[in-house]
Amino acid sequence: MATAILVHGLWYGPVSMALVRLRLDRAGFQCRPFSFPSLKGSLATHARALRDFAAESSTDSPVHLVGHSLGGLVILRALHNFDQLPPGRVVLMGTPVQGSEVSRRVGLRRPLRPFLGDSRYALEEGFAHCPPEREIGVIAGTAGVGIGLAFGGLEGPHDGTVAVSETTLEGASDSVCLNVSHTGLVTSSLVTDAVAGFLEKGRFPRQTDSA
């Protein structure tokens, strides 16, 4: 049975990935939630912890990595820094690999900076490094409802927090846009079905696949 390591985003920890875990478990994956202090520590520190955590999952079966938002940056940094991670596919959900405009705007307001903590810089800068030896799938939301609306909105399609253009990763194996919000990326069954499809086949399911 393939393992799927779930890497949460800012604030809520592994509980935010509970529905993803439940649905991927039902789809036949053995899920392991990875927890890290998202408001404290550097991206490199979290990446090292993920490397160690993934090493504990090393088996003859693939070890996939699924990250939401900031969690996707942690995954990319771990893959960039370390070559010991077990083989497997990667899915990024609403990850601002090109940097987050909303985070930059929040960072300009000193009273609000604690809400981003040490992750402020990682979110502002992004991490658009695509390991050539990995199959990476990118999911972006387009519902346009979220915290970004309180900070001047975003240009082009977006999930309310991260713009689709901010999720673009050159070298990714596949990408798909779904009509969900940034939070919806971890609650929608449509998204989890897309994640499962990519982990199984290395591409996202399209309507024609079931026709």
Angle between helices 18-26 and 189-201 (to 10 degrees): 50
- In-domain check, residue 211: no
CATH of the domain at 55: 3.40.50.1820
pLDDT tens series, the chain, 211 aa? 899 999 999 988 999 999 999 999 999 999 999 999 999 999 999 999 999 999 987 667 899 999 999 999 999 999 999 988 889 999 999 999 999 999 999 888 999 899 999 999 999 999 999 998 899 999 999 998 877 777 777 889 999 999 999 999 999 999 999 999 999 999 999 999 999 999 999 999 986 454 3
- In-domain check, residue 210: no
- In-domain check, residue 180: yes
Partners of 174 in the β-ladder: 137
Q: Quote the number of domains for the chain.
A: 1
CB proximity list for 19: less than 8 A, separation 6 or greater: 186, 187, 189, 192
